[in-house]
């Protein structure tokens, strides 16, 4: 008989943690309102590795090991050169509102989501696009008419990209062509009616997706087709999740408060990282 994993505290006192990645033996993440990229070792030691004044979000790495960071509010992709962050691409021509999560594939191509409307002012919803940035800095639309594209994963073979549409209450899949363009769009998992709004996601070795749902305060493991096979409640709004640890069987869950001002988040420092052991490890990294 299986037992639902229990989340235990790992790191507390963050403002708004987002965009976790397991890389080179550590958990990397952005803290929006402290405007920093953090690296957390397995023993919980926290190190600041970069400062991004316009708020960092999605993280990834080029094949040569250099860090890429989404700079949210000025809508730029930054690249770490030595100790400096320099502009790798200007996203503002195709993204009118803040940019968010990102996936970087094994060839250094970056897929980047954006809000599509003024979320914090509670403006009317508007669909938007997923952007593709090539290693030489060219920016193009990879897919349009997405309902708040957020967490994104790539299958280990590099052939299928799955994106969480937070306002669409679904996970949407695309075939990935050799040049990185996307096609054969389809619904991977429809979550409408399950009380779920997917945010950050990660993929396990059995092809299931773990997703964080702020609205229902939980993380869920979902199979293709929409079957929910595991639900873990969270203390606070679940923002994102990532499988990591030496054997990739540690589920890290980031929690915070959505739609709270930067000033409130900095004052409260209620953001946190939790962790639990799960039976199925994370999928191989692209």
Binding residues for a divalent metal cation: 18, 150, 199
**What torsion, rounded to 10 degrees, do the Cα atoms 250, 174, 24, 7 define?**
-20
Pull the structure tokens for residue 97: 């509102």
CB 245 within 8 A of CB 42: yes
Edge-to-edge order in the sheet of strand 250-256: 8-14, 271-277, 250-256, 237-244
Looking up tokens 């790798």 gives 88
Which of 199, 204, 235, 247 does the annotation list as catalytic? 199
Please give the Cα distance from 92 to 75 (Å, whole number).
5
What is the chain's length? 286
Distance of CA 105 to the CA centre of its chain: 14
Helix extents (H) in 95-135: none
Cβ contacts of 216 within 8 Å, gap of 6 or more: 195, 196, 197
Which two tokens mark 214? 């702020």
- State how far the Cα of 176 lies from the Cα of 189, in Å rounded to an integer: 18
The answer to whether residue 81 is catalytic is: no
Q: Tell me the C-alpha to C-alpha distance, in Å, between residue 22 and each of 19, 78, 96.
A: 10, 19, 30
Residues tagged in the binding site annotation for substrate:
100, 118
Active-site annotation, residues? 199
């Amino acid at each position: 008989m299986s037992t639902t994993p229990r989340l235990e505290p790992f790191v507390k006192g963050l403002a708004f943690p987002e965009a976790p990645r397991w890389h080179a033996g550590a958990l990397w993440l952005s803290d929006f309102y402290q405007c920093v990229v953090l690296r957390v070792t397995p023993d919980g030691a926290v190190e600041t590795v970069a400062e991004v004044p316009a708020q960092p979000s999605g993280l990834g790495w080029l094949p040569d090991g250099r860090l890429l960071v989404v700079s949210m509010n000025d809508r730029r992709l930054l690249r770490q050169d030595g100790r400096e962050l320099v502009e790798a691409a200007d996203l503002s021509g195709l993204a009118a509102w803040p940019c968010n999560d990102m996936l970087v594939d094994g060839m250094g191509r970056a897929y980047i989501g954006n809000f599509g409307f003024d979320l914090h002012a509670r403006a009317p919803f508007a669909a938007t696009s997923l952007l593709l940035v090539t290693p030489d800095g060219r920016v193009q639309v990879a897919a349009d008419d997405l309902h708040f594209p957020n967490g994104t994963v790539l299958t280990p073979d590099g052939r299928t990209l799955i994106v969480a549409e937070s306002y669409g209450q679904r996970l949407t899949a695309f075939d990935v062509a050799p040049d990185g363009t996307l096609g054969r769009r389809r619904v991977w998992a429809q979550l409408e009616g399950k009380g779920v709004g997917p945010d950050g996601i990660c993929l396990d070795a059995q092809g299931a997706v773990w997703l964080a749902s702020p609205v229902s305060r939980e993380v869920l493991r979902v199979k293709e087709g929409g079957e929910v096979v595991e639900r873990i409640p969270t203390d606070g709004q679940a923002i994102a999740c990532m499988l990591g640890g030496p054997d990739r069987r540690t589920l890290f869950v980031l929690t915070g408060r959505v739609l709270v001002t930067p000033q409130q988040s900095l004052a409260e420092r209620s953001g946190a990282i939790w962790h639990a052991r799960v039976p199925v490890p994370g999928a191989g990294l692209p």
